[in-house]
Amino acid sequence: MSFRNILFGLVVLLKTASLAVAGTLSNPIMFVTQFPISADFATIGSTFANHQGTIGKVGRGGDLYIRYSDGTVRNLTREAGYGNTGFQGDNSIAVRDPTVHWSGTKALFSMVIGAPQLFEQKSYYWQMYEITGFAQGQTIAITKIANQPVDYNNITPLYASDDQIIFTSDLPRSKNRFNYPQKDEYESTATNTGLWKLNPQTGEYHLLQHSPSGSFSPFIDSSGRLIFTRWDHLQRDQQASPFNVIDAFNYVSEPSDASTPTLNSVLEVFPEPRAEETDLLAGTNLEGHSINHFFPWQLNQDGTEEETLNHVGRHEFHDYFNRSINDDNQIVEFIPAANRPNQSVARNLFQLHEDPLQQGRFVAVDAPEFATHSGGQLLAFKLAVGDRPDLVTVDYLTHPETRNPLDDNATPSADNIGFSRDPVVLSSGAILASHTTEVRGNGNQGTRANPNPRYDYRLKTFTMHSSGYLRPEGNLVSLATTSISYYDPDVLVTYSGPLWELQAVEVIARTVPPTTSSVLPAPESQIFASENVDVTEFKNYLTARNLAVIVMRDVTTREALDRQQPFNLKVANQAHQTIGSAGQIYELSHMQFFQGDQVRGSGGTANPDAGQRVIAQYLHDEAALASNIPFNNAPNGAVEVYPDGSVALFVPASRAMAWQSLAADTTPVVRERYWISFQPGEIRACGGCHGVNNLDQAGNPANTQEAMAFRALLQHWKTNLDVIFVHGFE
């Protein structure tokens, strides 16, 4: 072994010193078993579109279990009268996503009930349940959560700090069945719509975060942040480019019923074309844009302040992405510098879990999109509240070879232990994860009627090996193999063998994290005070109209590392500018906003498929347009950049938004790469367009000026809108 490898091993051992020897399991472990579906596209084990309860997507026969510290195991759902062995009929179940309450005395999970008879086409939906009485010697009770959305898939439930329930669902953002299902931005496959929050007592549920391609595995960390993995895929529809139209079309507006008019058009206005759309790129300076990854995101528990975790991004985790334009030598492809703090690439981050022994340290899985049932390489990184994202480092807990599957005939190295998923660090420091020794891609080595899946995920404890990487030590439980059959629905599926063991959680009482919410920053607070505007009254106006306000203090500022889009920026016809280096200067006159509308249909206009894909449309929300300052000759959905570089406007809440800056001739300059949604009443302020992690392109800290644009917006509101609102002329 080289000196470098020895040193690396010592570093890893030191960093994982808090991880005790596996086998120290002093608390009960709750987990689920699932039928091992062999396919890995939009099925229960997939990285995305794993939310559907239909029989072809998730088999039946699994259960919710608990393993006590003395090693005894208890089948909780079976004790409560749910599920059965053998043939899976009306009482059959599948279960997923257990989450333990802060008290350690109750837990949430999702369950789908029932299976079809031969040739019977039926819809089945995941619903949320609560379980109590699972301590040794107690009697199990399972209760369906009241007032949740019916006939929709409600999964990944968790307790908020206020004991309300946060979950993901495929309930449309509009709550309109005609918009079901929302389809993702990649394969136009049904997806969940984001994170929702339910008050079981009042029955109120509302959207915390709108996600055009889906959000996954939410949890609340010890500091109170709602953390989740989100699929970031803000690019044009690869299923329906102008030169690859397969029964795709646009609706005139977001459909509310079957009578909504349709257009035989697949026009898109944002972002720029993909690299494959060469005819659209011809004659431009554009490189073509694609983005496709799964990053960690955070929200306050009231749904405000959505952003990547600590504002971490591709510059910190990735090893390459392209520039936006090709006629400026200062705009370059991204390749990490030799001195970047993080030299360990992370491409996707799934199934995050916080280390209970180190606040803000997260264990995750870096897995490919397909072929491993969400299994991959275990890694860890630290981003506690206040940690600088540009200083983040990634620790590889299992060998990098455990990220991607090998060809069928390839020979794995000694470090390739197979794939892991659902990692959890226990309070003892032990690491537990679901693991398979398989190193190839997924597959069915049997038939549809008699499946023999390659993958056999089992719960195992892990210990540090002398190689400097974790290895599985032993199985957590020894469950008997099972014999299951069900109709799929035109084929009788018969399987004998082990079920997957997934999603382990430790049953332990924990300190309730603080309830986080947005706090109005000082610059904006000072403007409210100097303009004598009551903040509560203003927020009530926003909430009543389902609006939020965006304040960008200086859109000429950019994160110092971002040299993939123009960064020498100047306000058009004004002196104000922020310059990163000598070279071409780009003038900005407007900021143009887009709302994510579910208007891309499929299947043809004569007999369209159910549901629609979200695409970007110029801001047209009536309440926002009626409230914003009317700028003369502004491009569609655009507002002016003020002389100090600031921008402010009303935007629709509970809907994904994106934006771009424009030159005076309306040419886009800097484009947003992520969707962002806002809560009703939210006032969201940032220093610039691509927020500063530490310093901007000119070496300055994040901007904290009192934005001229926001002052003008408040003055406009006082003069034109406040009188109507206060006197009740709604």
Burial 138-155 (b: 16+ CB within 10 A, else e): eebebeebeebbeebbbb
Whole-angstrom distance, CA of residue 277 vs CA of residue 288 = 8
Distance of CA 7 to the CA centre of its chain: 35
Same domain, 719 and 620: yes
Same domain, 8 and 103: yes
CA–CA distances in Å: residue 363 to residues 160, 352, 395, 584, 587: 21, 6, 9, 43, 43
* Helix, strand, coil % over all residues of the chain, rounded to 5: 10, 30, 60
pTM of the model: 0.94
What is the DSSP code (8-state) at residue 717? H
From 506, 536, 557, give the residue that closes a domain.
506
Supply the pLDDT for residue 23.
45
> Per the structure, how many domains does the chain have?
2
680, part of any domain: yes
Site of tokens 């480092």: 393
Same domain, 533 and 474: no
Whole-angstrom distance, CA of residue 363 vs CA of residue 397 = 9
Contact 594, 270 (CB under 8 A): yes
Domain of 691, in residue numbers: 522-726
Q: How many CB atoms lie within 10 A of CB 414?
A: 9
Whole-angstrom distance, CA of residue 262 vs CA of residue 603 = 12
Site of tokens 């890893």: 12
Burial 19-46 (b: 16+ CB within 10 A, else e): bbebeebebbbbbbbbbbbbbbebbbbb
From 476, 506, 536, give the residue that closes a domain.
506
Supply the pLDDT for residue 264.
86
Same domain, 533 and 409: no
254, part of any domain: no
Name the residue among 526, 499, 457, 445 with its Cα closest to residue 706. Answer: 526
Token output for 265: 């058009």
What phi and psi values does residue 203 have, to the nearest 5 degrees?
A: 85, 0
Name the residue among 659, 645, 662 with its Cα closest to residue 704. Answer: 645
Token output for 416: 């390739």
Supply the pLDDT for residue 690.
76
Token output for 395: 């620790």
CA–CA distances in Å: residue 174 to residues 170, 312, 616, 654, 681: 11, 30, 16, 9, 18
What's the start-to-end Cα distance of the chain, in Å?
75
631, part of any domain: yes
Token output for 493: 């599926």
Same domain, 469 and 589: no
Same domain, 410 and 471: yes
252, part of any domain: no
DSSP 352-381: EEE-TTSTTEEEEEE--SSSSTT-BEEEEE
Burial 624-641 (b: 16+ CB within 10 A, else e): beebbbeeeebeebbbbb
Contact 76, 134 (CB under 8 A): yes
From 506, 530, 557, give the residue that closes a domain.
506
Same domain, 481 and 577: no
Supply the pLDDT for residue 369.
96
Contact 613, 188 (CB under 8 A): yes
249, part of any domain: no
Provide block-wise average pLDDT over 10 residues at a time, the chain (730 residues).
35 35 75 97 97 97 97 97 96 98 98 96 97 98 97 98 98 97 97 97 96 98 98 95 82 91 93 95 97 97 97 97 97 97 97 98 97 98 97 98 95 95 96 97 95 97 94 95 96 97 98 95 98 97 98 97 97 98 97 98 93 98 97 97 98 98 98 98 91 92 96 96 56
258, part of any domain: no
Same domain, 355 and 431: yes
Same domain, 497 and 552: no
Q: Which residues contact 680 (CB under 8 A, 6 or more apart)?
A: 542, 543, 546, 547, 548, 653, 654
Same domain, 315 and 429: yes
Token output for 455: 């993958």
Name the residue among 193, 143, 137 with its Cα closest to residue 170. Answer: 193
Supply the pLDDT for residue 724.
56
Token output for 656: 């994904």
239, part of any domain: no
Same domain, 113 and 41: yes
Same domain, 419 and 551: no
Whole-angstrom distance, CA of residue 268 vs CA of residue 242 = 9
250, part of any domain: no
What phi and psi values does residue 638 have, to the nearest 5 degrees?
A: -115, 155
The domain spanning residue 166 has which CATH number? 2.120.10.30
Q: How many CB atoms lie within 10 A of CB 345?
A: 16
